[in-house]
Structure 1
Amino acid sequence: MRSAMTSAPAAAASPARPARGALTVVTYVLFAVMLGGTAPTPIYAIYAHRLHLAPPAISVVFAAYAAGILLALLLFGGVSDYAGRRITLGTACAVSVASSTVFALFPVLPGLLAGRLLSGVSVGLCTGAATAYFAELHPDRTRAALIASVTNMAGLGVGPLLSGFLVQYLPHPTAVPYLALITLQLPGLLLVRLPEPVADRRLRIRPQRLRVPASTRRPFTAAAVAVFAAFALLGLLAALTGDFLTDGLHDSSHLLVGAVVFSAFGAAGAVQLLVVRLRPSTGSVLGMVAIPVGVALLVLALAAHSLPLFLTGALVGGSGAGAAFKSGLAMVVAAASKQQAGEAASGYFFAAYLGLTLPVIGVAVLVTRSSLLTAAGCFAGVIAVLSAVSVACTVRLDRVG
């Protein structure tokens, strides 16, 4: 995430007012790439049925997405600072198209793993470059970061809703959603008409170090635990909602799967707009109170076979995840010096995407060895402990500060 935190080159001073046309194009490109991050969610049940995949296999396919993001962040996190914003975003679009093509042409386990890995790489490339581009196109860096964050969550939310609708009502469910994603990438060609803020362009790959600066270790601990829990909840819903609805609530609607995931990510994006005026520590604590409440509601919904309760849990938990994510990042970056902000942010995102993978795989394994309710209860217990640790660390920071 170095490119998201570095200043624009001297030759690319921020304009006096937003370059609305360029902002619109970059916002759309980020949104379209993020769609691919969660679009396969309603299709997992079809893959599981056709390929005889157990929940652990589905969770590993989902985890390949996070692995792709981490790979892109670690190897190419700052590449747009040297190669240029446009070419990096264009490459992200091309990799996203390649991901959808692999999914459509090779609906077998190796194809699913390759498609998810490519999807993660495209997201990792796009988020850093787009965030940096927003900061150069908009005079208010805080608002630019908010645009990037909300667009990110909006894309992740709309992706499963779109594919759920297409799978539910159109033929060829393992191909049509990906053809739609490819089509939605076409406006990315407008990138060639945008100004390029990086004046001295050259290809230079500098792996991002994963080191937490000493000055940020206390706030980093509180924020990293929070974002791990937040992304664990979002990852669980994105990977296993189909299993929860089918086995726990006896509803196999693909559109409903998409609607549940949309609710969680949509709430996460909307809440970021509401907590923008709160102190980061306050927003983080609120988020870490809401997340375990949301998870508890999900567990109660499975026990009671209640869809309204399940949707409520997704909304409450998603809201908490959005608040924790935005507030935690603000805490980490504010505590770091300007020269260390990139390292601190990279460590923060590393914690986030570990949360997106490890708990999901753990729950999927538990599902095969115990009941769905037991696995969900264990997950709720872990989230409760993580939330308590994060709140305690954050409150202690406020008292010391």
Structure 2
Amino acid sequence: MAALLPVGARFWTAAAVVVVALWSSGAPALVYPVYEQDWGLTPAVITGIFAVYPVVLVVVLVIFGGISDYIGRRLTMLAGLGSIALGVLIFAIAPDAAWLFIGRIFQGIGVGLALSPAGAALVEYSRSVSRASSVNTLATAVGLTIATVLGGALVQYAPWPRELTFWVLLAVTVALAAAVYFLPRNDRSAAPGARWRPRPIRVPRALRGVVTAASLGAATSFAVGAVLISLGAQLIKDVLHTDNALVAGVVLAISAMVGGVVSIAARRLAPRTAVASGAITGAFAIALLVVSANLSSLLLFIVTSVIFGASYGMLFLGSLGLINRYAQPDHRAGTLSVVYLVAYLGQGTVAIGLGLLATALGLAPALSIVCPVLIGLALAAAAAAIFFGRPRREAPSADALSAASSIGR
């Protein structure tokens, strides 16, 4: 039998899976203009390619959300990384737009399979729930930052702007899969003898309020992120009059980078406090976003990105913290899947809706319609965290379960 990774390396390997999943999700963003120029793609085709990803990911989460609780974290992460690698390879060799749809389908399958078990593994390999939540949030920020900054640099200054970013990501994904292979094999959390079958994800009754608060918090962060990316690309083009992909990537990475810093600084906040604070901050950032769009002010957009980054860091940290603290091991991955499911539904709905409205009415009028809805979502997340951010009957926390297990040994 192959030697297993040391405990510390297992934790960071699981974090790297989150990084690669988010890197994969954002990798095509800065290559889309190259496809548009080289292949003459219309905005409708680009929007369709974008929309395929969250749709597929949501389907995977609905059907396979809790599968790692039954077959193990390691095997599920390997399956996810394999699908991500296949999707990235298809992007690297794609001769036309039809291949991009296929590649995006495999990326959606891979990320849908990999994210929840990686998040659950972070808790199981960690000494603390707060550390696992903080590192998970940081890993999402790092993945998005790599996708935009490294992707922008490769597109702008390296050869093969359509392909190289995907070859680099493919190499990293394969190397990471090799590390995941050496994680523990017996890492399922369902009861002995329990078998997986396709069925709706079940959330224990006592945790439904907690999961609602966590899901609304994550959905707010993902939905506003989708708007920022859409608006950011347009502002960079209109205000700076530049098509420089690296400049675009750095500007788009601001909120992710700030979110990563805040996730470390705020790791000792109670999860419900983090969600409520992040949601209220996010509502302010959304209002500021409308002003920056109407003024076409890049400086104001950057300020908005910084404020939203702080909001994102607290929202996602608190959302993960709620699940990691209260969900018991035998349904932790499935419960995390519910949070990701709602988050990606929100992201996909907002991105597609904003795109359709912007095409029909223009960007500023579209934001005037979408942003009040997002402010309502943010305030709902804050209210849910305040009123429902604890289980009905106090469930044993992951830290308490770990301590009890240690005493038993």
Q: Same fold (TM over 0.5)?
A: yes
- Alpha-carbon offset, residue 110 of structure 1: 2.3
Alignment partner of 1:310 out of 296, 301, 320? 301
Q: Which residue of 2 aligns with 1:144?
A: 132
Q: Are the aligned partners of 1:149 and 1:269 in contact in 2 as well (CA < 8 Å)?
A: yes
Q: Are the aligned partners of 1:208 and 1:346 in contact in 2 as well (CA < 8 Å)?
A: no
Q: Which residue of 2 aligns with 1:101?
A: 89
Q: Which residue of 2 aligns with 1:12?
A: none
Q: Which residue of 2 aligns with 1:376?
A: 367
CA RMSD of aligned residues (A): 3.2
> TM-score w.r.t. structure 2 length?
0.82
After superposition, where does 1:81-96 map in structure 2 within 5 Å?
Answer: 81-96=69-84
Letter paired with 1:242: A
Q: Which moved more, 1:210-219 or 1:285-294?
A: 210-219
Q: Which residue of 1 aligns with 2:312?
A: 321
After superposition, where does 1:216-365 map in structure 2 within 5 Å?
Answer: 216-238=207-229, 241-247=232-238, 250-331=241-322, 344-365=335-356
Letter paired with 1:198: D
- Alpha-carbon offset, residue 135 of structure 1: 3.2
Residues 1:31 and 2:14 are matched in the alignment? no
Q: Which moved more, 1:91-100 or 1:299-308?
A: 299-308
Question: 1:400/1:31 Cα in 2 relative to 1: closer, same or farther (>3 Å)?
Answer: closer
Segments of structure 1 that go 5 or more residues without pairing to the other structure are 1-14
Q: Which residue of 1 aligns with 2:396?
A: none
Question: 1:187/1:380 Cα in 2 relative to 1: closer, same or farther (>3 Å)?
Answer: same
Letter paired with 2:314: A
Q: Are the aligned partners of 2:130 and 2:268 in contact in 1 as well (CA < 8 Å)?
A: no
Q: Are the aligned partners of 1:65 and 1:119 in contact in 2 as well (CA < 8 Å)?
A: yes
Question: 1:152/1:268 Cα in 2 relative to 1: closer, same or farther (>3 Å)?
Answer: same
- Alpha-carbon offset, residue 247 of structure 1: 4.3
Question: 1:28/1:279 Cα in 2 relative to 1: closer, same or farther (>3 Å)?
Answer: closer
Q: Are the aligned partners of 2:207 and 2:327 in contact in 1 as well (CA < 8 Å)?
A: yes
Q: Distance in 2 between matches of 1:156 and 1:94?
A: 20
Q: Distance in 1 between matches of 2:16 and 2:44?
A: 34
Residues 1:192 and 2:181 are matched in the alignment? yes
Question: 1:248/1:120 Cα in 2 relative to 1: closer, same or farther (>3 Å)?
Answer: farther
Question: 1:328/1:68 Cα in 2 relative to 1: closer, same or farther (>3 Å)?
Answer: same
- Alpha-carbon offset, residue 37 of structure 1: 1.2
Segments of structure 2 that go 5 or more residues without pairing to the other structure are 393-409
- Alpha-carbon offset, residue 362 of structure 1: 0.6
Q: Distance in 2 between matches of 1:258 and 1:66?
A: 21
Alignment partner of 1:43 out of 13, 21, 31? 31
Q: Which moved more, 1:156-165 or 1:209-218?
A: 209-218
Q: Which residue of 1 aligns with 2:399?
A: none
Question: 1:165/1:342 Cα in 2 relative to 1: closer, same or farther (>3 Å)?
Answer: closer
Q: Which moved more, 1:366-375 or 1:325-334?
A: 325-334
Question: 1:286/1:140 Cα in 2 relative to 1: closer, same or farther (>3 Å)?
Answer: closer
- Alpha-carbon offset, residue 397 of structure 1: 4.8
- Which string of whole-angstrom CA distances, capped at 9 and with x for unpartnered residues, describes residues 161-184 of structure 1? 111110011232111111111122
Residues 1:119 and 2:107 are matched in the alignment? yes
- Which string of whole-angstrom CA distances, capped at 9 and with x for unpartnered residues, describes residues 257-311 of structure 1? 2113321222223222233222223212211122132233333333333222212
Question: 1:376/1:323 Cα in 2 relative to 1: closer, same or farther (>3 Å)?
Answer: same
Letter paired with 1:274: A
